[in-house]
Structure 1
Amino acid sequence: MNNKFVYAPGPTSVRENVRLERAKITTNPDVDEEFVEFYKDTCDKIGQIIHTKNPVYILSGEGILGLEAACASLTEPGDRVLVLDNGIYGRGFKDFVEIYGGEGVYFSDDYNKNIDVEKLSEFLEIDHDFKYATIVHCDTPTGVLNDLSKICPMLKKYGIITVVDSVSAMGGEEIRVDDWKIDIALGGSQKVFSAPAGLTIVSISEKAKESMLDRKKPIVGFYCNLNIWSNYYKDKWFPYTMPISDIMGLSIAVDNILEEGSNNVINRHSRIANATREAVKEYGLELFLKDGYSNTVTAVKIPENIGALKLKEHMLSNYNTLIITSLKPYDDTILRIGHMGENAFEEKLTYALNIIDNGLKDLGFSSEHNLVELFNKHINE
């Protein structure tokens, strides 16, 4: 199980210095105030990467925790919430809204491109009575990237709080939380940060905090209540026992990004993604998206006579390599190339592309080209 080559849009590969950090002897995070300082320092470093002076918190739970916690903390019964829907995860935000008694209202757009900002503007002119809006930065099942720099300021003009799921983009795509007026930005440890799964990253603006505090009814539950973090640093006391080894590993993963330079990391993702897309097209395959390509995930349409699921199983059984498909209804249509974080290096990608090339040709796909040669050509352009 541990020897197979896994190339997925998260969890990504974990660098050795991160793995070794997690193996170190730890202190007691409940009572040692030095850990409080370490935790805050790690949060502040993440704030540098996402360009915010808002407080950043690290929560114990995989990235989905952040999505639910944002909805749990903001939603009161009867609140109207705008759900921007141009992907599977974007659409799924409505479930969290309604769990906590809100009314989710869709603004739906095509799933094969980014959100049409003009159409959204026209929609908001007619209907903008929403407490908050949910937006997915990169919708992982298709790799579509939405333009937060235009969407979030537009929503804020109407006083709408902005909640952004950037789990699959944060670190690999530019995100400027303060400049783009993002009230709650959500990330995860297992994507571009390339630490093990299990941690959620949350930044919270003053506007979002005020909304959470100025409620008629208390927030339902405890673990998803973002208010419990407000005074942790002043009180030097965490709401629950923190997973210290995980946070130590994440801190090193964040250092890896800062040492390379966060802009350099973004540029590396862009080079890798552009070369991948050009190679795939020249090879004779079709991209799922028409526009709005993320630099962390490329969604490739697999011919019907082969099928993405059959290709995945063939690569796993014949090459001990796991490259995954998408979620339903695209699970047999799309193969996802997850070039994010530690997977966004040429040596990792050329191995994955070689396996995809072999797998497709084994199953009858005809191309006069070689995917790796095409990638190498475009990466050097």
Structure 2
Amino acid sequence: MPNTASDSTSAPLETPRLGEPYLLTPGPLTTAYEVKEAMLRDWGSWDGAFRAMTARLRRELLDIAGDMAGEFDCVPMQGSGSFSVEAMLGSFVPKDGKVLVLSNGAYGKRIAQTLSYLGRDHAVIDKGDYMPPRGTEVATALDADPAISHVVVVHCETSSGILNPLKEISDTVYAHGRKLLVDSMSAFGAVPARVSDFRYEAIVSSANKCIEGVPGFGFVIARKSELEAAKGRSHSLSLDIHAQWDYMNKSGQWRFTPPTHVVAAFLEALRIHREEGGVAARGARYARNRDVMVAGMREAGFETLLADQWLSPIIVTFFSPAHPAFAFDRFYDLMKDKGFIIYPGKLTVVDSFRVGCIGRMDEHVMRRVVDAARSSLAEMGVDNAAPPAIALEERSRLAA
């Protein structure tokens, strides 16, 4: 794990106002006061001013994606991020297509579940909780099954915190003449995903992740050729990406009631993102958050699920201590009392919890997180945060 944070001398970010706790989650997350403040005005969804806001939102997201050649377009979609993932799958995968799902956590499993609902044929490479899918495995699967037309991968699998090797996967997919779809829900805006970084047909994210907006819509950045081919393909009226794209381009409006206040907040979040220094600076801050927090938690005796090479700057999974006095619900409440809301784990083999690194916070806050964790353990009477032996054995076995 790169030690980018220990020598940092940056000034602390402003503490959230209104007595709010920090959300150490993968989104919703802690937002800047200015983002909240942007929601104080009402907007008419058909008004020219709001149409201009929508056009600006789409343009600025394409700028982040680095679409210099004008081959892509951005389509915002109402709802949570999962709405946009389902819209992508239902619109871009033909009904007679077949999808290879690269799964190493809850969100890969959700993609497979979504494809089942959609009636799309699919196969799964399931890597469990600990390891990323690799290009060699993808190549083997594609060689074995010529019916596979698309590969879908989660950029950052937040149920574990793994940052998957997208370029390696993309190179393999296109070397085999297939197409790649990317769920970058918790990475876009902080982890490089420009159209020139690696190839994909479409990538999705949402307002309440690394751009640091509030929940209410997701967005799909896709090749125009794929958007055109999606006409009439969707299983859903409201999740039809082609219909939304076509209507927006003709009218400047959303087909159905847009989350006007969320759009206003997101534009303010985009301004802050741009002024911070864009993807590189946002990702560097999150990486510093991770480095300080992980180092401190390890000093306190906690163990991470993942080896350093796979730790994302988005969220980190820790094994729960084996100590009989440790109970996650009590730990959660104690951390919340100290101003920090953490996230329960989603592992299948052992108990765990997660600590997010994203949102309007910095390494100074993360040092307070570590202090709060130490104090909470002491209040619980936990003098050893080591995980059960089976957790470390499982990690070592699967990493071998």
Unaligned stretches of 5+ residues in structure 2 = 1-17, 386-400
Aligned-pair RMSD on alpha carbons? 2.4
1:74 matched to 2:92? The reply is yes
Q: What does 1:292-303 align with in structure 2 at a 5 Å threshold?
A: 292-303=310-321
Aligned to 2:41: 24
Aligned to 1:234: 250
Q: Helix, strand or coil for the counterpart of 1:97?
A: helix
Q: 2:161 aligns with which of 143, 149, 160?
A: 143
Change (3 A) 1:251 1:128: farther
Tell me the CA shift for residue 62 of structure 1.
1.2
Tell me the CA shift for residue 269 of structure 1.
1.5
Post-superposition CA distance 1:81-116 (Å, at most 9, x none): 111011111122011112111112001224212222
Whole-angstrom distance in 1 between the partners of 2:208 and 2:335: 23
Aligned to 2:294: 277
Is this contact kept in 2: 1:69–1:226, CA < 8 A?
yes
Tell me the CA shift for residue 78 of structure 1.
4.3
Q: Helix, strand or coil for the counterpart of 1:230?
A: helix
Whole-angstrom distance in 1 between the partners of 2:384 and 2:94: 55
1:171 matched to 2:189? The reply is yes
1:33 matched to 2:48? The reply is yes
Q: What does 1:259-278 align with in structure 2 at a 5 Å threshold?
A: 259-262=275-278, 263-278=280-295
Is this contact kept in 1: 2:300–2:374, CA < 8 A?
no
Letter in 2 for 1:83: V
Change (3 A) 1:170 1:111: same
Is this contact kept in 2: 1:9–1:336, CA < 8 A?
no
Tell me the CA shift for residue 172 of structure 1.
1.9
Q: 1:14 aligns with which of 13, 31, 37?
A: 31
Is this contact kept in 1: 2:154–2:184, CA < 8 A?
yes
User: Across the two proteins, how many residue pairs are aligned to each other?
Assistant: 360
Residue identity over aligned pairs, in percent, reads 19
Change (3 A) 1:230 1:188: closer
Aligned to 2:272: 256
Change (3 A) 1:152 1:207: farther
Tell me the CA shift for residue 65 of structure 1.
0.8
Q: Helix, strand or coil for the counterpart of 1:190?
A: coil
Is this contact kept in 1: 2:28–2:214, CA < 8 A?
yes
Letter in 1 for 2:66: H
Is this contact kept in 1: 2:88–2:241, CA < 8 A?
yes
Q: Helix, strand or coil for the counterpart of 1:124?
A: helix
Q: Helix, strand or coil for the counterpart of 2:344?
A: coil
Post-superposition CA distance 1:109-134 (Å, at most 9, x none): 24212222222223323234322221
Q: 1:199 aligns with which of 176, 201, 217?
A: 217
TM-score, normalised with respect to structure 1:
0.87
Q: Helix, strand or coil for the counterpart of 1:287?
A: coil
Q: Helix, strand or coil for the counterpart of 1:135?
A: strand
Whole-angstrom distance in 2 between the partners of 1:320 and 1:293: 25
TM-score, normalised with respect to structure 2:
0.83
Whole-angstrom distance in 2 between the partners of 1:211 and 1:348: 47
Q: Helix, strand or coil for the counterpart of 1:104?
A: strand
1:352 matched to 2:369? The reply is yes
- Deviation larger for 168-177 or 120-129: 120-129
Aligned to 2:236: 221
Post-superposition CA distance 1:153-184 (Å, at most 9, x none): 32123332222111111112121234411211
Change (3 A) 1:113 1:275: farther
Change (3 A) 1:2 1:128: farther
Is this contact kept in 2: 1:11–1:197, CA < 8 A?
yes
Is this contact kept in 2: 1:132–1:161, CA < 8 A?
yes
Q: 2:345 aligns with which of 316, 326, 340?
A: 326
- Deviation larger for 289-298 or 151-160: 151-160
Change (3 A) 1:84 1:8: same
Whole-angstrom distance in 1 between the partners of 2:184 and 2:39: 25
Tell me the CA shift for residue 367 of structure 1.
6.3
Is this contact kept in 1: 2:55–2:252, CA < 8 A?
no
Q: What does 1:100-115 align with in structure 2 at a 5 Å threshold?
A: 100-115=118-133
Is this contact kept in 2: 1:307–1:333, CA < 8 A?
no
